[in-house]
Structure 1
Amino acid sequence: METLRFEQLPNIVATLTNEVRELKALLLNKTGDKPEIETPLNIKEVSKLTELSVPTLYGYVQRNEIPFYKKGNRLKFFKTEIIDWIKTGKAKTLKEIEAEADMCLSNIRK
């Protein structure tokens, strides 16, 4: 860090003031974007989204295999949670299975 001289002080303060303004503007823009409130879906909408039948979805709800909310006797779902639930069912590729088997075998040999 270089030593500052008294004569440089006005320029440095001006530079810092501009940078603070820019940071403040960036922060205000970032906080101004409020996250969109997600509206709940009914079971028919989830059926269209997942391409599963309504009775199949009721079975998943009964076994607590799918994320859901119940208000009174109405089932509600959130799209992001349903998409995350679908992603958890990813099948492993052959390479992933082989790598996992190699890891297990190497641990057994130790």
Structure 2
Amino acid sequence: MTGLTFDQLPNAVATMLHKMESLEQRLMQLLTSSPADDRPMGVTEAAEFLGIPKNTLYGMTSRREILCFKAGKHLKFRRKDLWDWVMEGRQETAAQIQSAARKGVRRA
């Protein structure tokens, strides 16, 4: 990693944010255009997708914190529903908050 001066930090952070937003857009395109999205996932696959233990996922479904449906006796999840749930918990960057404040947009 190259050494950055204090004066270079704002540009470096702006570049990183731009790259992250670009990656997020690409990921959303892949998630929304992939035919695999329509295939329901089981508990194991959903837990791996979210990076959490299966027991945690079971608890979240019983508390109705995460969207799921039952196919017979088995819990099933849609990839898009899981991704939407992840994005709901996303924290805005300082730049996004400042931009919204400049536009006069109220945050919920």
Measured against the shorter chain, the TM-score band is 0.5 to 0.7
For residue 93 of structure 1, report the CA deviation from its aligned partner.
Answer: 2.3
Taking structure 1 as the reference length, what is the TM-score of the superposition? 0.52
Which aligned pairs between 1:74-85 and structure 2 lie closer than 5 A? 74-85=74-85
1:56-98 Cα distance to aligned partner (Å, 9 max, x none): 1011101111110012321000111111111111112234456
For residue 39 of structure 1, report the CA deviation from its aligned partner.
Answer: 1.0
- How far, CA to CA, are the matches of 1:99 and 1:79 in structure 2? 30
For residue 101 of structure 1, report the CA deviation from its aligned partner.
Answer: 7.5
- How far, CA to CA, are the matches of 2:96 and 2:83 in structure 1? 23
- How far, CA to CA, are the matches of 2:90 and 2:81 in structure 1? 15
RMSD: 2.6
Which consecutive aligned stretches of 4+ in structure 1 deviate over 6 angstroms post-superposition?
99-102
Instruction: Tell me which residue corresponds to 2:65.
Output: 65
Higher-Rg structure is: 1
Partner-residue secondary structure (3-state), 2:70: strand
Instruction: Tell me which residue corresponds to 1:51.
Output: 51
Taking structure 2 as the reference length, what is the TM-score of the superposition? 0.53
Unaligned runs of 5+ in 1: 1-34, 104-110
- How far, CA to CA, are the matches of 1:39 and 1:98 in structure 2? 39
The alignment-based identity, stated in percent, is 29
Change (3 A) 1:43 1:99: same
1:26-48 Cα distance to aligned partner (Å, 9 max, x none): xxxxxxxxx84711100000111
The number of equivalent residue pairs is 71
Unaligned runs of 5+ in 2: 1-33
